[in-house]
Amino acid sequence: MKQFRPYHFPPLAQVRASAGTAPGAASADTTQDDWDGALAAGFRQGQQDGYEAGLEQGRAEACDAGHAEGVERGLEEGRALALAQFEALAKPVDAALRGLKKLKSDFKAAQRKEVVDLVGKIARQVIRAELALQPTQLLALVDEALAAMPPARDEVEVLMNPEELKRVAELDPKRARKWNLLADPSPEPGEIRVKAGDHEVDAGCQGRLSACMDQVRDALAAAEGEDA
């Protein structure tokens, strides 16, 4: 809100003195002219004083408003600049964190694979040693395979490695005569195929071992997920 400085008109005697007229010596017309002149002079002086006061106050208010606006704009620009600098500094840190996370994930995956491979190698060695000592255990695998297959009237054929077939026939000829055991050089030791009519099943140890390794791999992955 603008403020106005009050203006006091000078005494009439002072105005008359400045005009060169003594009190009581002027006529009525002269007195009226002097009064009008004094009013006009006072009005002009009041306008000048009001203009100067308003100009000074306007300048002060404009300066305050400009200062406040400049401070606010400076703060906004400073915040924007700081945010841009922070984002620029954070980008390499984010990239490093992503790389570290990937490295950690790759390391755990490689570690999990090594564990599964090691368990698989040990299991294969144990199976080979067990079959070398008791090759007739292959016949138990045949029984399990036939139990899982649909009933068939055709003769059951069992294809085995020649060396294992020879040992099984020597150690348990009675059970070996239950099926038609055929020598097949293609299967590795511990691998057998069972045929009954149109059905054929891989009843060897490798398929069972692969299924077990899949379970071990899933169990390790689940354990890592829980730790994470």
CATH code of the domain in which 191 resides: 3.30.2320.30
Residue 190, number of CB atoms within 10 A of its CB: 23
What residues does 201 pair with on adjacent strands?
194
For 195, the token pair is 């045929």
Q: What is the residue range of 19's domain? A: 1-104
Check if the beta carbon of residue 190 is closer than 8 Å to that of residue 159.
no
What would the pLDDT profile of 1-22 be if each residue is shown by its tens digit?
Answer: 555 555 555 565 555 555 554 4
H/E element, 13: helix 12-19
Residues 83 and 140 placed together within one structural domain of the fold: no
Query: How many domains, the chain?
Result: 2
Check if the beta carbon of residue 155 is closer than 8 Å to that of residue 180.
yes
In the prediction, which pLDDT does 193 show?
Answer: 86
The pLDDT of residue 121 is above 60: yes
Closest residue by Cα to residue 70 from 60, 59, 78, 80: 78
Torsion over CA: 33, 35, 36, 38 (sign): positive
Residues 159 and 220 placed together within one structural domain of the fold: yes
**β-strand 156-160 against 180-183: which pairing, if any?**
parallel
User: Can you tell me the distance from the alpha carbon of 214 to that of 220, in angstroms, rounded to the nearest whole number?
Assistant: 10
Check if the beta carbon of residue 191 is closer than 8 Å to that of residue 130.
no
Residues 143 and 91 placed together within one structural domain of the fold: no
User: Is residue 28, in this structure, part of any structural domain at all?
Assistant: yes
Among 49-63, 95-109, 160-174, 206-220, the minimum mean pLDDT is found in 49-63
For 39, the token pair is 């009013």
The percentage of residues in the chain with a pLDDT greater than 70, rounded to a whole number, is 77
User: Is residue 75, in this structure, part of any structural domain at all?
Assistant: yes
